[in-house]
Structure 1
Amino acid sequence: MNKENERPEKPEWPKKPERTPEDVIAIAYLDKLRRGEGETMPTALPLACIVRVVAYKEIPKANERYALVTVRGSLGISWKMCVNRNYLKKGMNALFVAKGAAMPEEARYRHPEAAKVKVRVFRFGPGIKERRLLPIVNRTIYHFNNGLLYPLDDFPELRRMREGTICAAELRIDSLKELHARVAAPKPKQKKKAAPAPEAKPDAAEGFIAKVRRRYIRAWRAEESEE
C-alpha cells in the first residue's frame, strides 16, 4: 500500500477530568445564583449607609474572583451582594452605596477592588455643570446586585458611625433621579429689556407753518435793521 495514500492518525485529545462531587455541587450552586432562584431585589434602600458584613462565602467556579456577602443595614434589613474577593471580611463594617446614587468625583470612590464607576456630566444651566461618578453594579454571575460596598479605610469620617447610619448627606451623595429632574427642569426666563420709544416726528403741516414763521421773522428783522 502506498504511504502517500495513508491517512494520518488522529491525535488523541486529553480526556476531561471527571467531576468530583464537590465540583457538581459548586456548579449547581453557581447555576442557582445565575437563575436567581429564591432571590428578590431589596427595595427602599438608602442612597448610602453603614452596613455590617454578617456572612461571606466565596463563589466556587467563578474564576476565583467573586464572593457572595450578606450585609445588614438600618432596621435590621439584610440583603445579599456579589463583590470581588479578599477586600471584605465577615464582621467588619462597610459603606454601602446604592445603584441609584451619584457620587462626587473623588479618588476614594474609584477603589479598584470595590467599584467600577462611570463619569457623567450634568448641566444645570449656562456655565453650571457638575461631574459625578455613577456606580456600575452589574454582575453576570448574580443579577440582583443593587450597589457597591467600600471598606472604611478611605472614609475616616465614617469609622465611628454605627451600623445602619445613613450618611449620604455627609458624603455629598445625591440621587441620580433628582439630578436628572434638575437638568430637565425649565430654565428661568430672562426679562427682555424694553425697546426704546421711537423719536416723535413733527407733523408735515406743523413743519410747514414753522418754516413760514421763521422766514417771516427773518424778513421782519431785516426791515428793522434797514430803518
Structure 2
Amino acid sequence: MGRIAQKLTKTVLREAGKVKRAGKGFTDGLPFDLPTFEELAKELHDPQHVLYVSAQQFSSAVAETFSVEPEFAEYAAIVGKAEGEYIPDGPPISPLTRSFFTMWAFFDVRFGADQESIGSCLLDLLRAMSGPELMVGTLEKLNDSRMGIYEHVGCEGPRVRLRELLSGDEFVCYSASGYQGQTGELWYVRLGPPVAESFDYHIVLT
C-alpha cells in the first residue's frame, strides 16, 4: 500500500469509526448518488459490463471527492491539464471519448512518491475495509488493465475475436459499444478480463 493510500485509509476508517462499519460509513459520507446494480442492468446488456461500469463510476466518485485533498494535488494538476487539452468543452471536438479519458485518469495516471493511481488507492482502501469481494475483484482487473492494439479476426455469434498484435494472444470479447466491426480492422482498446470463472470472454471497455 502506497503512502497516499495509507493516509486515505486511515482517514476514512477513523471517521467511519469501527472497521466493521467502515464500508457503510464511507459510502454514506460521499456526496454522490451512484446507480445500483439493478438500475445499471436495465440499461446495459451484459452482466460483466454492469460490474465494470459500476467500478468505474465508484472510482469517479472517489476521485471527485478526494481530489481536493493536498495528497492528490499532483493528480488533480495532471488530469486537469489533460482534460482541458484533450476533452475541451467546445470546438474543436476531441477524437478521444470520455470513457477513454476517465479510464486513463483513474487507472493509468501515476502520482506521488509511490506512483499510485486513483484505482490503486481505492483498491487498497476497499481491501482494508473488507469491501465487497466482487467489487474488489473487478477493481483489481481494472488496475491491471491497459490499452492495446488488436486485430479483428472474426466474430463468434454476438461477440468479437481480437488478436493482440504485440503478444499474438486471442480473446473473445463483448463489445460494450455494440460495434462489432469487420475482420482485418485494428482496434486500439482496453480489455477487461472475465470477472469470475463462470465467464469465458473479455469486455471491450473503451
> Which band: TM-score by shorter chain?
under 0.3
Larger radius of gyration: 1
Structure showing the higher strand proportion among its residues = 1
Structure showing the higher helix proportion among its residues = 2
**TM-score for the superposition, normalised by structure 1:** 0.21
